[in-house]
Every structure is written in structure tokens, then in C-alpha cells.
Amino acid sequence: MAGRCDYKISCRTDYDDGHSVLVVRFYEGDITTESERRLDDTLGPVTRYRRSGKLGEETIDFNPMHGGQQELRIRTQLNAMLLRYAPRTPIAEQT
């Protein structure tokens, strides 16, 4: 099975002229089970998505005055960018 990938917004800068810039980092990782300390302070197997490396970084300009419509456009654009990292599979939360 190929690895997985995701993105994380690492920085947002707002400018006086009304536009903003996002710096987005793309990562690879996989769902693994490892021994970790749990909430009840015992050690046991924990299965979760773990990042193993950075794939790249992108900058996106946008105008926050467009509200939710702009958020949907950015999310759609970021999800499309994830597809460039094939054969990795985007994590479920970002599809």
C-alpha cells in the first residue's frame, strides 16, 4: 500500500491592502500502530496517522473579504495539490 499525504497551513500573513497569503506545507506519512503512553498513563498500542517527511511547500494568495466562498476555493485548491503527490493517498479528512 502506498503512503499517505496531508497538508498543514504553517503561516498566514494579512496585508494592509486586504489580501492575505497562506504558506502551506505538504507531508507524507502513514497510519501506524506504536506503543505510546495513553490518557490513563498506561503504555499500549496506539494507531494513528504519523508524518514521516515534508514533500513540499506552496504559497497561496487570497482575499479574506470573500468569506466562506473563498475558504471553499482554497480547500478545493489544496485538495487538488495533494493529488500531485501520487501514488500517495490523501488522508480521509482532506478529500
CA 17, 73, 85, 89: dihedral to nearest 10 degrees?
A: 140
| pLDDT score, position 58 | 92
| pLDDT score, position 63 | 82
The pTM of the full predicted model, rounded to 2 decimals, is: 0.76
| pLDDT score, position 1 | 45
Low-confidence residues of the chain: pLDDT under 70: 1-2, 66-67, 86, 95
* Best CA proximity match to 53, nearest among 31, 32, 30, 27: 27
| pLDDT score, position 43 | 95
